[in-house]
Structure 1
């Protein structure tokens, strides 16, 4: 009896060791089989209801901006004490804007081709005389439209002198260049360095800094980050507007150029008042009215292949292909024109399937 019991122990030991070795292998085979079965399950398509496009289609974009430097305005030859200052930071300076009263005379900005550099009197001729006459006419005075300083010009000069406070204006014999301050461009004031009670600024010293202006503005895809400071000389567009889209910045329409990727020259002037100075990227929107026959579907539902663009819809438990024309992408959706019907559900097919529209 003892001999039989001793003989069975080696057998049992061998069986236990074998099971200990084989069991992990069997478990690994079972897990592998389960993984293969899971991988072989075909992904199911997703169906989403198509929505009829209504109202305005609003596509967010970014506007990349490039700015000029501030524009310095130097003082002409002035004399006297500063008695009043009429402009401050943020004020627009245009042709005829009063800048300051110095030595009892109101000094106005003059938007001319170049600064007046000599007194002008009877018999003088030249482009500066023509500029003076144009400046006087803009003030409502009867100056002739000729490049010669004549009696009519002198009468207009005396009237202008009286309007700005020149002493004994009725007997002046010439126009004094110090009565005006040359203005290279019409812009808002960034800074002004004229102090009431101080002596007139020295000739050539900067008395005004006019605000920087937008010199280029291009359409970028929404979320685009600006390039590093000074890394590019010219901005490159990465988005474009369709012929029916209008650009809105701060709720105001801004004109685009013929490429539909950049703001036009007129639009650049408008931008200065719509965005903070120095802003490198501004939020904007491209707006267009929705038209009959346009639908909004998830972007993955639009299939594009060599055969064109199309969507697949489910009708009567069947998959039906419809040709589609894409108009604009908006935040994960796309506006298309297709022969869809109310209640249609577009199919987002698995990416593993090879799909064509041909």
Structure 2
């Protein structure tokens, strides 16, 4: 019995040592097991000739939406920020009055009645036409009987004094090309004449396109050039009249830039700058480039890069291919390389290669 006990006392630690030795051996075998290297074929992809730019608009300071009447704000129209105002568009209801937009170059400043003439009468005829009311069509500067019939219906629609006399408080002046920005007065609040109901963005007087990397101004582009917004929307600049480029691009930036990237406002003088970043200027025809996953790229300490090609002899180690200056970041998860490499098989993840292999790069 004593011999059996002694045997057990000896066997238990010996067994433990053997198990530990076996475990260590298996760990060594796992550590020595070669890492599986996978390969990918360099693909083909179209790369746009683009650069990141900043759009700088001059003279685009926000303007006030001055209320033409007084009372309690009953309701506000559901206006989209960045969307240009439409002539005759409903803005708000203040008391019993319905405020509509008069979009043009001339504000209403006097009472108008049959027989009056002037630019403001022409604006009135245009407003009536936009609302689908009786009016004189075209560039008519005379307040006629047809104008009077339209004004009678307009006064009824907006809650103004009945009759055929037009009062300047029957519409809110909006500068041509302006876009809605935001409301500042809440429903239920008191509104006085001239109080700002909100902000509207005035049309810019000039546009500058600036390269984000160098800070250099890029000439306003022409044919074959488009502008791509951060949200992916695209605007063909070649289809815009030169005189309308600033306004058209400004509307595009308001609709597609805000939210994706906030505008930067620089105050200074009477014409502050409003700039939008994150846009891309795409010029010329796209070119074919090789495309590889970023993990396949190995960067040396000196900044030079290479990829490792699959050896013709499966027993050999991958051979480095040094890359020139054609390497460029493409879409998410893609790196552009020289198109001459298209079709060649390279290591999918260069970090899996042995140090001595990487040193050959």
Contact 2:119 2:141 in 1 (8 A): yes
- The TM-score with structure 2 as length reference comes to 0.55
Contact 1:327 1:336 in 2 (8 A): yes
CA distance in structure 1 between the partners assigned to 2:99 and 2:62 by the alignment: 22
Distance change >3 Å, CA 341–CA 108, structure 1 → 2: closer
Counterpart residue number, 2:231: 250
CA distance in structure 2 between the partners assigned to 1:99 and 1:50 by the alignment: 59
Structure 2, unmatched stretches of 5+, are 1-39, 265-274, 300-311, 313-324, 347-361
CA distance in structure 1 between the partners assigned to 2:276 and 2:236 by the alignment: 17
Deviation at 1:142? 2.2
Equivalent pairs counted in the alignment come to 257
Structure 2 SS opposite 1:272: helix
- Which digits, 9 at most, give the CA deviation of each residue in 1:326-358, with x for residues without a partner? 9995469766676x784499xxxxxxxxxxxxx
Contact 2:73 2:93 in 1 (8 A): yes
Choose which of 105, 111, 115 in structure 2 pairs with 1:113.
105
CA distance in structure 1 between the partners assigned to 2:90 and 2:226 by the alignment: 41
Structure 2 SS opposite 1:273: helix
Counterpart residue number, 1:143: 135
CA distance in structure 2 between the partners assigned to 1:158 and 1:84 by the alignment: 24
CA distance in structure 2 between the partners assigned to 1:175 and 1:240 by the alignment: 45
Structure 2 SS opposite 1:142: coil
Whether 1:273 aligns to 2:255 is yes
**Structure 1 vs Structure 2 CA RMSD:** 4.9
Counterpart residue number, 2:200: 210
CA distance in structure 2 between the partners assigned to 1:344 and 1:238 by the alignment: 42
Contact 2:326 2:338 in 1 (8 A): yes
Whether 1:154 aligns to 2:136 is no
Structure 1, unmatched stretches of 5+, are 1-48, 228-234, 301-315, 317-325, 346-358
Structure 1 SS opposite 2:249: helix
CA distance in structure 1 between the partners assigned to 2:223 and 2:290 by the alignment: 17
Deviation at 1:148? 1.2
CA distance in structure 2 between the partners assigned to 1:148 and 1:208 by the alignment: 33
- Which digits, 9 at most, give the CA deviation of each residue in 1:245-290, with x for residues without a partner? 76343111133469xxxx9432331111212342455334566886
Structure 2 SS opposite 1:174: coil
CA distance in structure 2 between the partners assigned to 1:122 and 1:59 by the alignment: 60
CA distance in structure 2 between the partners assigned to 1:290 and 1:194 by the alignment: 50
Asked which structure has the greater CA Rg, the reply is 1
CA distance in structure 2 between the partners assigned to 1:156 and 1:328 by the alignment: 66
CA distance in structure 1 between the partners assigned to 2:174 and 2:73 by the alignment: 21
Whether 1:164 aligns to 2:158 is yes
Contact 1:129 1:147 in 2 (8 A): yes
Contact 1:213 1:272 in 2 (8 A): no
Counterpart residue number, 2:54: 64
Deviation at 1:179? 0.7
Contact 2:67 2:196 in 1 (8 A): yes
Deviation at 1:175? 0.8
CA distance in structure 2 between the partners assigned to 1:87 and 1:137 by the alignment: 21
Counterpart residue number, 1:282: 277
Distance change >3 Å, CA 294–CA 105, structure 1 → 2: closer
Structure 2 SS opposite 1:147: coil
- Which digits, 9 at most, give the CA deviation of each residue in 1:126-165, with x for residues without a partner? 1111111111011111211321111111111111122223
